[in-house]
Amino acid sequence: MASHEDHGHQAAVQAATYHAHDVLDETAKTAVVGLGAGFFLAAIQNAMSKRNVGAFGVFTRGGPLIGLAAASPAAYTFFSRTMMNLREKDDALAAGFGGFMAGGVLGLPTKRMPVVMALGALVGTVQGTFHLLGGRLDSFKTEDDEFAHKETIRRTTRVPVEQTVSEIGEGRGIKPPGYEERRRERIQEKYGFEINPVSATVEGSQ
Chain centre to alpha carbon of residue 32? 23
* Confidence (pLDDT) at 4: 47
Buried b (16+ CB within 10 A) or exposed e, 7-45: eeeeeebbeeeeeebebeeebeebbeebbeebbebbeee
Residue 63 to residues 68, 105, 180: CA-CA distances in angstroms?
Answer: 9, 15, 79
Q: Determine how many CB atoms are found less than 10 A away from the CB of residue 68.
A: 18
> By 3-state DSSP, what share of the chain in percent is helix, strand and coil, each rounded to 5?
70, 0, 30
52-56: long-range contacts, CB 8 A cutoff, minimum separation 24: none
pLDDT at position 191:
76
pTM comes to 0.57
Per-residue pLDDT of the chain (206 residues; tens, 9 = 90+): 444 445 444 554 444 577 888 899 999 999 999 999 988 988 888 788 777 767 677 777 788 888 899 999 999 999 999 999 998 888 889 999 999 999 999 999 988 999 999 999 999 999 988 888 876 655 455 555 667 777 777 766 666 666 666 666 566 556 666 677 777 787 777 776 666 665 545 454 45
Taking the CB of residue 86, how many other CB atoms lie within 10 A of it? Answer: 10
What pLDDT does residue 173 have? 58
The Cα angle at residue 100 between residues 32 and 134, in degrees rounded to 5 = 80
Q: What is the pLDDT, as a whole number, of residue 172?
A: 59
174: phi then psi, degrees, rounded to nearest 5: -95, 110
Q: What is the pLDDT of residue 3?
A: 45
171 beta partners? 174
pLDDT of residue 66: 87
CA 104 – CA 116 distance, rounded (Å): 5
